[in-house]
Amino acid sequence: MICSDFVNAKARVNMRASNDDIVRIKQIEEIKKIEQIKKTRDERGCTVSPTPLQAFSSIARPASEQRKQAKSHSDSNAEQMTGAQALVRALEDLGVQDVFGIPGGAILPVYDAINDDTKFRFVLMRHEQAAGHAAEGYALSTGKVGVCIVTSGPGATNVITAIADANMDSVPIVVITGQVGVDSIGTDAFQEADIVGATYPVVKHSYLVTDAQDIPRVLTEAFHVASSGRPGPVVVDMTKTAQVGQMQYSWPQRMILPGYNPTTKPHGRVVKEAARMLQRSYRPVLYVGGGAMRSDASEEIKALADLTGAPIVTTLPARGIIPDSDPKMLGMLGMHGTIAATGAVQRSDLLVAIGTRFDDRVTGKLAAFAPGARVIHIDIDPAEIGKNRAVDLPIVGDVKEVLHALLPEIEQLHEEHGTPNLSTWWSLIDDWRKTYPIAYDEPDDGTLAPQWVVEQLSELVDPNAIWVSGVGQHQMWATQLLKFEHPHSWLSSGGLGTMGYGLPAAIGASIGSQRFFDGKRPVWLIDGDGSFQMTSEELAVAFLDHAPVKIALLNNSVYGMVRQWQTLFFNKHYSATILHEEEQTHLVGVPDFVKLAEAYGCEAIRVTTKEEAQAAIKYANEVDDHPVLIDFRVWKDAMVFPMVPAGESNNNVIYKPGVCPLQRVSGGKHAVTDTASGAAIDTANTADTGTAGTGTVEETNE
Ligand SMILES: Cc1ncc(C[n+]2csc(CCOP(=O)(O)OP(=O)(O)O)c2C)c(N)n1
Ligand SMILES: [Mg+2]
C-alpha cells in the first residue's frame, strides 16, 4: 500500500511537471508567432497593416498624391497649423456661422481649436441625435448647410438617426465625427466605431480623413456635395491623426469630385413635350414634393399653376410651397390628405410630379394610384424617376430651372391653340372641397380637441412663424389645419418619421431665425407628449442658449397615432400605447411637463379650458426672450381623418368612419363627363347612395 501510494504520488508529481512543460512550450510558440508577425510587418515597411476600413477608405492613396491634383491657387500664402485648427478655419472660410455639437476624447483637438476668436457660434447640445436634428432645423429654415461636430464611437452612433432623417428628407447637413488615430482603426480601440461603414446606406457621401493636409479640401467638397444636386447629409470622419497632424493651410481649395456633376438644366425636347402634354390635359394635377421646396421653386410652382389653371397638391414636406389661401391649393394628398387632393390625383389624366418620390404614404396601394393619369416626373435625382411609378415623360433637372424652361413653352402653345378649359374639372374639385373639409369630433370627456388647439394656434400666431412638429397624430393635425402662408415655414420629419425630431429641430430653427431673420420669425413647436420625451433634455439648450421656442404640447397621455391604428385595426387592444393614467397614479402627469420645463429654467403653463388655451397662446406670442411650454390637455380618443388604411387604394380613403367618398359608384350624382375628352369621370360620393362608403372601416379594407 505504502509503496504503491508512493509510486502514485510520484507519478502525480511527474504528470504536473509535464503539464507545466507543455504550457511553457505553448507560451514560447505564441511569443515566436507574434515576433514573426512583427518581423513581417517591419519588412513590409509599416507597423500596422491596413484594416479593411482603412483599405476601403482609400488610405492607400497617399495624401501627397491628392494634393498634387488639388494644388491650391494660393499655396504661396499657406499657413502652418494643425488639422484641428484647419478644420475650424475651413468652416469659417466656408461662411459657417452656427455649429451644434457635443465634445469627447476623439474630437478634443477640434474643440480645443474653437475659442473666443472663432467666427462661428457653437451651440452645446445635450444629445448627439439632437445636434443632428438641430443642424437639420437650421438648414431647412435658413437654406444654409447645417453643421454638427460630435465625438467618435457613441457620439457618432447617436447621430446616425439624424443622418438617416436628413437623408430621407434631402436635408443638407455636414456631420463631423471624431475618429480614433489611424493606427488604431480596426483594433476595437476605445470609442472606436466604423461610422463611415455604419452610415454608408444613409448618407449622400462620406469621408474618412487621415491626413491633416486634406481637411480644407474635404470640407469644401462636403459642403458642395451636401447642398448641390439633391441635397443630403455628408459625414466627415476625422481621425485624431488628421486633427493633430501639421498642415499648410490655404484657401480656396479646388475640389476633386470626378463623376459628381448633377444635371440641373433639363433637355429642351422633353420640356417641349411636357408643354404639349399639359395642353392636351383636361384633368391635370401638380403633385409637388419636398424637392420643389429644396429648389426654392415657390414662385415657379405658383406661375405654373396660374398659367395652366391646374390644382396643386403637396406632400408633407412641401406644405407651404404656395400659400394655403391660394384657391388652387388643395392641401396634402395621401394617407391623411384632404379628400380634394387625394381625389383629384386619383381622377387625374395628367400628373405632373415635381420634386417628389411617390412615397407609399402618398400613393397607398401603388397599382391603384392615379390609375388614369399619364405622368411627367421632374426630379434632379435620376434614381427617383420610375422607381415606384412608371413615368411617361421623365425630366431630369433642378425644379426651378425646369419650370423656368417650361413656362414659356406653355405660353406659346396657349397663344397658338388657346388655354384648355378646366371648368368641369374644377367644379368636381370644388364640390369635394365644399363637401369634405377637414372635420373632427368634439371630445366627450371635457378635455380639449387637439384639432381645435391647432386651429387656434393657426389663427393667433404670427403668420411669419416657423412651425416644427414631432411625429404622430399632432403632426398630421398640424399639417392639415395650419394655414401656411410662406415656404420654408414647416419643419417635420417626413420620410423617417423620427419621434424626438421636434425640440432640437426647433432650436436649430430658432438659432437660424436669430441669425438670418433678426429673430422676427418666431418658432413654434407642435409636439406630442411621446415625441417630446425623446429629446426633452434639449430644454436646457433652449433656455441656456436663448432659443425662445414656443412649445405647444398636445398632451393626450398616449402614443396617439399608434393607438389610432389599434382602435381601427387591432380591435382596440391598446398594447403598450398608454403613457400615463391619472386614475392610477393620481398625479397630473408622468412627467409633469410643467415641472419638467421649469426644472430646465423654462416657463410653462398648463391649460385645460378653451379660454386658458387662447390666453396662453397669446401670452406665449409676446415672450421672445425665453422658451415657453404650454401643456394642452387634449382628448386621447381624437382621430386623424381622412385616412387611407396602409396598403389600400387611395380610392378607399375614409373621410370619417363609414364615409368613403372616392369609392367608385358608376352613374352617381357626381359622375361628370369631361366635355373635352368625352371620358366619364367617375366621382363616387357617399352622399349619392346608401351602398358605397357606408361600411365600417373593416369593410372598406380590401
Ligand atoms: C423614434 C420613433 N419610435 C417609434 C415610432 C413609432 N411611432 C409613431 S407615432 C408614435 C406615437 C407618437 O406619440 P406622441 O408623440 O405622443 O404623438 P401623438 O400621436 O399622441 O400625437 C410612435 C410610437 C416613431 N415614429 N419614431
Ligand atoms: Mg401623445
Under 8 Å CB-to-CB from 63, ≥6 apart: which residues?
A: 210, 211, 213, 214
Q: How far is CA 21 from each of CA 8, 18, 26, 32, 474, rounded to the nearest angstrom?
A: 20, 5, 9, 17, 73
Site to substitute for ligand 1 among 316, 453, 559, 579, most atoms within 8 A of C-beta? 559
Query: Which residues of the chain fall short of a pLDDT of 70?
Result: 1-76, 665-702
For this structure, is 128 an active site residue? yes
- Spatial distance between the Cα atoms of 160 and 491, rounded to a whole number of angstroms: 19
Looking up cell 420620410 gives 495
What global pTM score does this model have? 0.88
> Which amino acid appears at position 51 of this protein?
T
For this structure, is 240 an active site residue? yes
Closest ligand 1 atom to the C-alpha of 528? 15
pLDDT in tens, 59-84: 444 455 555 555 544 466 799 999 99
Distance 531 CA to ligand 1 centre (A): 6
Please name the residue whose Cα sits nearest to atom 23 of ligand 1.
559
Domains of the chain: 2-249 (3.40.50.970), 268-435 (3.40.50.1220), 450-633 (3.40.50.970)
Concatenate the DSSP letters of all residues of 315-341 into one string.
-GGGTTSS-TTSTTEEEE-STT--HHH
Judge if the beta carbon of residue 593 lies within 6 A of ligand 1.
Answer: no
Q: For position 664, what pLDDT does the model report?
A: 75
- Spatial distance between the Cα atoms of 327 and 431, rounded to a whole number of angstroms: 13
Judge if the beta carbon of residue 508 lies within 6 A of ligand 1.
Answer: no
Q: For position 77, what pLDDT does the model report?
A: 78
Q: Are 483 and 325 in contact (CB under 8 A)?
A: yes
pLDDT in tens, 441-476: 999 999 999 999 999 999 999 999 999 999 999 999
Which residue among the candidates 293, 476, 561, 639 is catalytic per the annotation? 561
Looking up cell 371648368 gives 423
pLDDT in tens, 19-73: 455 545 555 565 565 455 455 544 544 444 444 444 444 444 445 555 555 554 4
Q: For position 519, what pLDDT does the model report?
A: 94
The phi and psi torsions of 635 (rounded to 5 degrees) equal -70, 125
Which residue among the candidates 15, 71, 190, 699 is catalytic per the annotation? 190
Nearest to 301 by CA among 284, 317, 287, 315: 287
Distance 472 CA to ligand 2 centre (A): 7
Judge if the beta carbon of residue 640 lies within 6 A of ligand 1.
Answer: no
Judge if the beta carbon of residue 494 lies within 6 A of ligand 1.
Answer: no
